[in-house]
Chains A and B, each alone.
Chain A
Amino acid sequence: MSEVFVEISGLKKSFGTLDVLKGIDVTVNRGDVVCIIGPSGSGKSTLLRCVNLLEEPNGGKIVVNGVELTDPDVDIDKARTKIGMVFQSFNLFSHLSVLNNLTVAQRKVLKRGEKEAQQVALRNLERVGLKEKANAMPAQLSGGQQQRVAIARALSMDPEVMLFDEPTSALDPELVGDVLGVMRQLADEGMTMLVVTHEMQFAREVADKVIFMDGGYIVEEGPAAEVIGNPQEERTRTFLRRVLDPTHHGPGDPE
C-alpha cells in the first residue's frame, strides 16, 4: 500500500518576478489523502494547480501515475482525464444542465456514448446525493450543491487522483459539512486525494499526511496528528494558533 502515485521534485514556479514555489518535493502514495495547509500566499493553490499543469512550472519534475507531466511532449489532455480537479468557485458550466455538465467531457473527450455517459453521470450524482437535481441548471443550486455536482463531474471521468483547491472556502458555513462529507466518503473508498484546505478538523480526521507550506517552501510535513497536533516549527504553531483560535488573537500580536 505504499506505491508512489504522485511524485513532485524540485518544483519551481514564479509569476513574473514573484517566486511562488521555491523548490517543492512531495510524494503521494496511491490511496492516500494529503492535505496542504498554510497561510494565503504561501503557494499551496499554485502547487495544486501545477499537478495538472493548469500552471506551468518553471522548473522541477511532476510525475503522476508514471507519466511525467513536465515532459514537453506529454499529451496533457489525456493525462488530465485521469486527474480530477475541484475548484474553490465550483466552475460548473453555466450554460449546461447538471446532467450535461457531467456528460459533456465523457462524450467529447472519452468518446463515451450518450447512454453510457448518462448512466455514469447519474451514478455519480447519486454518490453526492443529488440525483434529483440532474435536470436543474447550475444557477438554481446552492453553493454546496454546486460543489457536490462539481465533484460528481470530476468523478464521472473515472480519475485516479482528485485535486481539491479550497473546495469549501466559498461556501456558507452550514453548507460546508455536505461537501466535506462527500470528500470523506471518497477518501474512505480509497481515492488518492490532494486537498488544499483551511478545514483543520477535516485534515486531522481524514488526511494520511499534512503538509504545511509558507513562503513557497514546505515547512513541515507528516501525519496529521503530528503536524496539527504537535507542530515542531514555530511558523506552523503560529499559523495553527491563528486558524484554530482566531478570536484570542489581536491583530498586532507578534508572530
Chain B
Amino acid sequence: MAMSKRQRAKVFRGVQYGVLIVAIVLLAVFADWGKIQHAFLDFEVAAKLFPNIIVVALKNTIIYSALGFAFGLALGLVLALMKLSSVGPYRWIATAYIEFFRGVPALLVFIAFAYGVPTAFQLRFDTYSTVMLALGIVAGAYMAETIRAGIQAVPKGQIEAARSLGMSASRTMITVVIPQAFRIILPPLTNELIMLTKDSSLIYVIGLAASERELTQFGRQAMNEYRGMTPIVIAGFLYLIITLPLGYLSRHLERRTGGKKVSVV
C-alpha cells in the first residue's frame, strides 16, 4: 500500500516518539534509582553543604567574576582604543596581547600568574587581587575585540556631528562614541560575563584558603569529604542560578536593541 508523503511523515514521527517512550520506561524500570540518587543527589550530604556553599562558595564565585569582569572591561577598553589608534606601536602591542591571551588556555595563564609572577617580579597580591588580575587579563583580550567592534559600529555621522560642534577627538570618543558603543555591545558583553563566571572555576590552581573557595573548588573539597557527586551537582545548579538569568538578560537586551548584529571576531 502506498502512503502519501504526509502519512509517511506521520508514521515516522510516531516511531520516534515510541522509541523515546521505550527508552524512558526502560530507564525508569531498570535503573537503580537509589544508587543514582546516592551518587548524585544525596539529600543528607546536600544539607551539610548549606549554608557554606551559599555564603562562602557562591558569594566568592560572584565576587571573583565581578572583579574579573570589571578589570577585564577596563583593560579591554584600553586595548580596543589602542587597536584603533593611529599610533602604530599601540596597535601592534594590542594585537599581540589579544592574539596571545585568546590563543593560550586560561588555565595556563592562571598557573603562570599564581606562581611565575610573584617570584619573577617580587610582587605579592592577596587572593582577591590575584583573581581579579588573572581573570581580567584573559577576559580583557576577548572583550577588547567586542568593544572594538562596537566602537566601529557607531555611525560615522555621530562623530562628524560631535567634531563639528568643536569637540576634540578624545572628547568625542568619551562623550559620544563609547556610550553608544556600549549600548550596541551590551548583549555580547553579557555573554562574556557568563563565560567569565564559568572560567572563574579555574582559579583553584592559584591555591585558595577555605574562606576563599569558589563553587567548583568548594564542591571538589566536599566531594572528597563526603564521597559522591552531590556537592558537584549542587555547585552546578548554583552556577545555573547565576548564568541563566544573565543569558535571559542578554537575549532580552538583544531584542530591545532590535537584534542588531555586531560582528564579533
Q: Which A residues form the contact surface with B (CB < 8 A)?
A: 52, 54, 77-78, 80-81, 83-85, 87, 89, 91-95, 104-105, 108-110, 150, 153-154, 157
Contacts and interface: CB of A to CB of B under 8 A. Distances in A.
Interface in B155-199: 155, 157-158, 160-168, 171, 175-176, 179-180, 183
Given A104-B175, A108-B171, A108-B175, A93 B158 contact: yes
A145 to B, nearest CB: 16
A83 B165 CA distance: 8
Interface of B: 155, 157-158, 160-168, 171, 175-176, 179-180, 183
A95 B168 CA distance: 19
B165 A109 contact: yes
Contacts of A78: 166
Contacts of B167: 77, 105, 108-109
Best-buried of B155, B164, B171 by chain A (most CB within 10 Å): B164
A89 B157 CA distance: 8
- Nearest 4 interchain pairs by C-beta: A81-B166, A105-B165, A91-B161, A85-B164
A49 B261 CA distance: 31
B161 A80 contact: no
B166 A95 contact: no
Contacts of B175: 104, 108
Given A91-B157, A91-B158, A104-B175, A154 B165 contact: yes
A157 B166 CA distance: 9
A108 B164 CA distance: 13
Given A78-B166, A92-B161, A109-B166, 7 more contacts: A54-B164, A80-B163, A91-B155, A95-B183, A108-B175, A109-B171, A153-B165
Given A108-B171, A109-B171, A93 B162 contact: yes
Contacts of B155: 91
Best-buried of A78, A85, A91, A153 by chain B (most CB within 10 Å): A91
Nearest to A87: B157
19 contacts: A54-B160, A54-B164, A77-B166, A77-B168, A78-B166, A80-B163, A80-B165, A81-B166, A83-B164, A84-B164, A91-B157, A94-B158, A94-B180, A104-B175, A105-B167, A108-B167, A108-B175, A110-B166, A150-B161
A94 B179 CA distance: 10
